[in-house]
């Protein structure tokens, strides 16, 4: 992987921040909102109730963290900016939506991949 440009860094940080923001909104607007809980208990045919149940299913079965961990392994094997996104976007959701252990491991794998790729690019640029 060539050294990442400032544009790539900014785009990566922006996408990660947007994913964290969306995950917080989903957590506090759907999963933990008492009004939604009570309305879904009364009538679960609403679209937001389906989305809420799907979110709860994904974090109970560690799907968010598992997806992030798989993305982190892909980023470690094939370090490219888009593979870093494969790790960081689901990791953002996993960190916020109760899959902290697996998502944090995925972030560390993505950072290791980025460090390895940056070191490799520096070695190739330096003479001797």
* C-beta of residue 23 within 8 angstroms of C-beta of residue 92: yes
Predicted local distance difference test score (pLDDT) of residue 84: 92
Mean pLDDT of 14-22: 97
Question: What are the DSSP calls for 66-81, one per residue?
Answer: HHHHHHHHHHHHS--H
pLDDT in tens, 63-113: 999 999 999 999 999 988 889 999 999 999 999 999 999 999 999 999 999
Rounded Cα gap, residues 4 and 50, in angstroms: 40
Rounded Cα gap, residues 86 and 76, in angstroms: 11
> Which has the higher per-residue pLDDT, 127 or 19?
19
Q: Where are the domains of the chain?
A: 6-123
Which is nearest to 90 in space by CA: 73, 112, 78, 114?
73
Rounded Cα gap, residues 73 and 53, in angstroms: 28
* C-beta of residue 89 within 8 angstroms of C-beta of residue 74: no
The pTM score is 0.88
Confidence of residue 122 (pLDDT cuts 50, 70, 90): confident
Rounded Cα gap, residues 27 and 53, in angstroms: 12
* C-beta of residue 84 within 8 angstroms of C-beta of residue 118: no
Position 128 pLDDT exceeds 70: no
* C-beta of residue 76 within 8 angstroms of C-beta of residue 113: yes
């Amino acid at each position: 992987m060539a050294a990442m440009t400032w544009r790539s860094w900014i785009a990566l940080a922006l996408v990660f921040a947007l994913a964290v923001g969306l995950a917080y909104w989903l957590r506090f607007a759907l999963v933990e909102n008492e009004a939604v809980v009570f309305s879904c208990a009364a009538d679960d045919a609403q679209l937001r109730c389906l989305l809420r149940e799907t979110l709860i299913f994904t974090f109970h079965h560690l799907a968010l963290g598992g997806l992030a961990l798989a993305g982190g392994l892909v980023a470690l094997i094939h370090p490219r900016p888009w593979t870093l996104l494969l790790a960081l976007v689901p990791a953002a959701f996993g960190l916020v939506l109760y899959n902290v252990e697996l998502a944090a491991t995925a972030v560390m794998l993505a950072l290791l991949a980025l460090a390895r790729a940056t070191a490799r690019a520096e070695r190739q640029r330096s003479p001797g």
